[in-house]
Amino acid sequence: MKLGFVGVGKHAQKMAAAFRECGAEVVAYDRRQPVQDSPAFEDFGDWLPWQEQIKSPGIDALIICAPPAVTTEVALACAKAGKRCVATKPLMLDTPPEAGIVIDMRNVGGTVWRDSHYYVDLWRLYSPAWLAMKDELRGKTIQSVHVDFYGNGPVRGFSGLLDYGPHALAFVADLMGEIPEMTWRQEVDTFRGHKHAAWGSGERVSVTTGNGFIAGGQTMRVTVKADGLRYAWIEDEGNHVYRVDGAPSGAPVMVADRAIALRAFCRAFLAGEPSNTLRISCEAHRVLASIESGRDLELCRSGSP
């Protein structure tokens, strides 16, 4: 498959490397100015505006790693033209675009629909450790789920809540099938730029997310209590870890390099496998947009934009 990139920053470079490792070829890129003599960008092919990339029969799909407004504009144009794409989060859409969407109506993996043309890069859902924990939890009675996905920065050109939040809520939606009703509260540090911290809690689910947390550094963990045991997925020092507290052995069930998850995500897109990342992204954005806007903050619910 031949890919065109929109954006060539650090995340785009990681995505490009992962796609190449999975057999794809990066043939074109777009950014504000063409790249000049930079080793980091030498494998991105020719400079070509994204509008021309969409039209080009020599480019099979676009990988959009731009600021949120640009990413959303390009993703919508891809949908209208029927061009496959991967959009980095946060994708600023509450509902999937109608034009160009190809729906797999089989009830695969417990979802109502899954799309093989349009992915959002919620790549941690493809972590072998996450998939192993989900598989072990299948059929068990879940008492509680808590997601810690936060850090002290980085400060982006957009809300830190929209940086960490999509991943945090993606875990909930992927595990529970939906984002349940939660009551949210938020803090914003206006002295350090786009620093946000948010806490959400419901009957069985709680979430802590954002880039406004000073103590403890970056924390990425999903903890599930089910049938008397405590299951945990943890991202730590470049690895994804799945462990079960209270099991006979205290050793982790699985440890996998996080790069494996990114490659698994890229491989699934290249193979045209149905994915629920677009649906999850839209559902998460409805919640996050409501929190950030402050509308009914104490009663912010997943179905209420």
Record the tokens describing residue 82, joined without a space. 């029927």
Long-range contacts of 192-197 (CB under 8 A, 24+ apart): 192/155, 193/155, 194/155, 194/156, 194/157, 194/158, 194/159, 194/160, 195/153, 195/155, 195/160, 196/159, 196/160, 196/161, 196/292, 197/150
pLDDT at 31 over 60: yes
DSSP state, residue 60: -
Q: Rounded distance, CA 200 to CA 195, Å?
A: 17
Residues 10-32 have a mean pLDDT of 94
**Could you give the domains of the chain?**
2-101 (3.40.50.720), 124-299 (3.30.360.10)
Residues 92-104 have a mean pLDDT of 65
C-alpha distances (whole Å) from 12 to each of 17, 64, 68 are: 9, 8, 14
Average pLDDT, the chain: 86
Q: How confident is the model at residue 102 (pLDDT cuts 50, 70, 90)?
A: very low
pLDDT at 296 over 80: no
The SS3 assignment for 148 reads strand
pLDDT at 9 over 70: yes
pLDDT at 115 over 90: no
pLDDT value for 100: 46
C-alpha distances (whole Å) from 74 to each of 35, 39, 77, 235 are: 20, 26, 5, 31
pLDDT value for 257: 96
Q: Which residues pair with 133 in a beta bridge?
A: none
Residues 24-35 have a mean pLDDT of 84
Q: Rounded distance, CA 133 to CA 141, Å?
A: 14
> 261: closest CA among 14, 6, 10, 7?
14
Q: How confident is the model at residue 91 (pLDDT cuts 50, 70, 90)?
A: very high
pLDDT value for 287: 93
pLDDT at 214 over 90: no
Q: How confident is the model at residue 213 (pLDDT cuts 50, 70, 90)?
A: confident
Q: Rounded distance, CA 237 to CA 241, Å?
A: 10
| Of the listed ranges 107-111, 197-201, 225-229, 299-303, the one predicted with least confidence | 107-111
Check if the beta carbon of residue 29 is closer than 8 Å to that of residue 6. yes
Q: Rounded distance, CA 52 to CA 59, Å?
A: 10
How does pLDDT run across 215-271, given as a tens digit for each residue? Answer: 667 899 999 999 989 999 999 989 999 999 866 666 678 999 999 999 999 999 999
Residues 134-151 have a mean pLDDT of 95
Kind and range of the H or E run holding 301? none
Q: Rounded distance, CA 80 to CA 6, Å?
A: 17
Q: Which residues pair with 101 in a beta bridge?
A: none
Q: Rounded distance, CA 270 to CA 268, Å?
A: 6
pLDDT value for 109: 41
The SS3 assignment for 261 reads helix
Top pLDDT among 13 and 40 is at: 13
Q: How confident is the model at residue 39 (pLDDT cuts 50, 70, 90)?
A: low
| Of the listed ranges 13-17, 115-119, 209-213, the one predicted with least confidence | 115-119
Collect all residues with Cβ–Cβ distance below 8 Å to 243 and sequence separation of at least 6.
231, 232, 234, 251, 252, 253
Percent above pLDDT 90 for the chain: 64
